[in-house]
Amino acid sequence: MLVKTCGIMSREAAEAAVTAGADFIGFVFAPSKRFLTPEQATDIASIVPLSVKKVGVFVNETMETITSIAEKVGLDYIQLHGDEPAEFAEQLPYPVIKAFPATVENFSKIKVYPCDYYLIDSPYGANRGGNGTAFDWTILKELNLDSDKLILAGGLTPKNVQQAINLANPVGVDVSSGIETNGNKDLSKIKEFILQAKG
């Protein structure tokens, strides 16, 4: 089971995630309480080993800005969390994770979108993703999505991640608010989440 810890904002949190066995570390470069500057992300990325993939989260950003930040930070994947068209993803010189909110009208778009992984998240709240709310995971069974490309997100916690995996059968899970206490990454929750997810 692949695990992506997203919204990482400190070296301590990154180190805890790496030590616990995270596969992806996510940095948010979009309006969010977890927003990082490229300089901050570069500093944290410097302690992340090559075996752990660094993901930049962008919302409706320009190609130039994405590639510039990706080069500076040393990103391995670009996560598109906005309304980016398929042509935009095809032009990016990086592997792509495309986030889709779990709404019926999106389901036809998911299968044809050119990406390495689709991240299925809860329907949007105040920000694109990172809202800490779960959706009905059983709807994913009806979609017949390629489970080797499916990353599940939205309201996952150390307590419910194993149930979510059993119901949705994803290749990976993504967590941000579910490993926080009072809005900050909680090192013990990071460890517990990864332990539960990897079973």
- pLDDT given for residue 141 in this prediction: 76
What's the whole-number mean pLDDT along residues 121-134?
64
Q: Are 185 and 10 in contact (CB under 8 A)?
A: yes
Q: Which two tokens stand for residue 121?
A: 């998240």
Number of neighbouring beta carbons within 10 Å of residue 148: 9
Residue 90 has pLDDT above 70, yes or no: yes
Distances (CA, A) of 30 to 9, 23, 82: 13, 22, 10
Banded pLDDT at 179 (limits 50, 70, 90)? very high
State the Cα–Cα distance between residues 85 and 126, nearest whole angstrom.
22
Q: Are 192 and 160 in contact (CB under 8 A)?
A: no
- For residue 134, the one-letter residue type is A
State the Cα–Cα distance between residues 198 and 172, nearest whole angstrom.
10
User: Phi and psi at residue 18, in whole multiples of 5°?
Assistant: -60, -45
What's the whole-number mean pLDDT along residues 106-130?
79
Banded pLDDT at 125 (limits 50, 70, 90)? low
Which domains occur in the chain, in start order? 2-198 (3.20.20.70)
Please, what sign has the CA dihedral across residues 65, 70, 72, 73? positive
- pLDDT given for residue 109 in this prediction: 84
Residue 110 has pLDDT above 80, yes or no: yes
State the Cα–Cα distance between residues 147 and 185, nearest whole angstrom.
28
Give every CB contact of residue 67 below 8 A, 6+ residues apart in sequence.
92, 93, 94
- Averaged confidence pLDDT in the chain: 92
Low-confidence winner among 57-66, 130-139, 141-150 (lowest mean pLDDT): 130-139
Residue 180 has pLDDT above 80, yes or no: yes
